[in-house]
Structure 1
């Protein structure tokens, strides 16, 4: 479903002659992680209760790139208490992210939706590295105690994306599934519009996205 929405968004952009690169990959240059940046990363890892040394992503994958802007679509599992904790870290004081305040609000508002979508083993427990980094998860749905290691890994990696993309000179544009745009005289969720976008909504979608890339 995620990929369908992204492909529909890309289709709208291409039909309006927007020059973009799909499925953009960014190889991480570890030399850019100086002492200050390493400190920011360590703080993110610690606020998730990380065990041992912080794990650094080696490459990042984005839905698409337009010039120096990297776009990524965030669905329900990206909005919860762990992501909110990372958004309060020093990284977001050192660097400016236009979507920061709205993401904090969405994390507070929509954790219940994350709870519904995020109890599958691959999300709740995550890959083996999640347990290695953040310990054993509680039973699915139980956010007491150590909570969900997979959710913590997700939140930590999201924050790594924010940090590492900026260190490489890019600006990350996050698209939350809950965002509303005005089209046809009413507000509609971008998530719904991208399921099956109609031509009469193309201009609204295009203008909405272009306002982000400034």
Structure 2
């Protein structure tokens, strides 16, 4: 079965008229330092339980075009760790998703994140254990919780930093967002081509990308 992200990507590619495999490199340490954000990012990394002296820069994009990125945030992206990142000063004037709504989703839907992400490499991985506090037993959020959740939250934060520094839209769409009286998750689950197309057009129009 086609995943929600794949379905959304296929609709966006139809609208744009070409593949979304454009080159959109990760932010560099030099760019971060030049923008004066090194201390802020290190502070968030440490608040997330980062255990290395310097923070890692290692993430991949969902749907990427030369002038914008669209990230589809599903259940695993809303929890106490993402909430920590959303209190960063970089979001004081961020405009490519609703910070208030995302904070609310983190508070309301952590139980759904736990349901989807309390086992296997969704809870811990070699990489996340290397850079963040060692995870508790599967599903135990108290104390150290999940290193993979911490890592995912930090990677989302870095993607948003990318947008701030390069002044290119990194647009976040949450499955909990609503369009025309229905959640985006529900629309994508149903593979509703018309409604998804209308929604994507509305997003591109909002940010003057189409």
Distance 1:9 1:98, change over 3 A: closer
- TM-score normalised by the chain length of structure 2: 0.85
Distance 1:205 1:197, change over 3 A: farther
Residues 20 and 65 of structure 1 are in contact (CA less than 8 Å); yes or no, is this contact kept in structure 2? no
Distance in 1 (alpha carbons) for counterparts of 2:126 and 2:197: 44
Shift of 1:97: 4.4
1:170 paired with 2:171, answer no
Distance in 2 (alpha carbons) for counterparts of 1:31 and 1:204: 39
Shift of 1:200: 4.2
Give the root-mean-square deviation of aligned CA atoms. 2.4
How many corresponding residue pairs?
Answer: 206
Q: Which runs of 5+ in 2 are unaligned?
A: none
Shift of 1:67: 5.1
Distance 1:47 1:94, change over 3 A: farther
1:210 paired with 2:201, answer no
Q: Which runs of 5+ in 1 are unaligned?
A: none
Q: Secondary structure at the match of 1:62?
A: coil
Shift of 1:133: 2.0
- Structure ranking higher in strand proportion: 1
Q: Deviation string for 1:42-87 (max 9, x for gaps)?
A: 11101112113232315x4322235522101111010001100110
Distance in 2 (alpha carbons) for counterparts of 1:110 and 1:117: 11
1:89 paired with 2:100, answer no
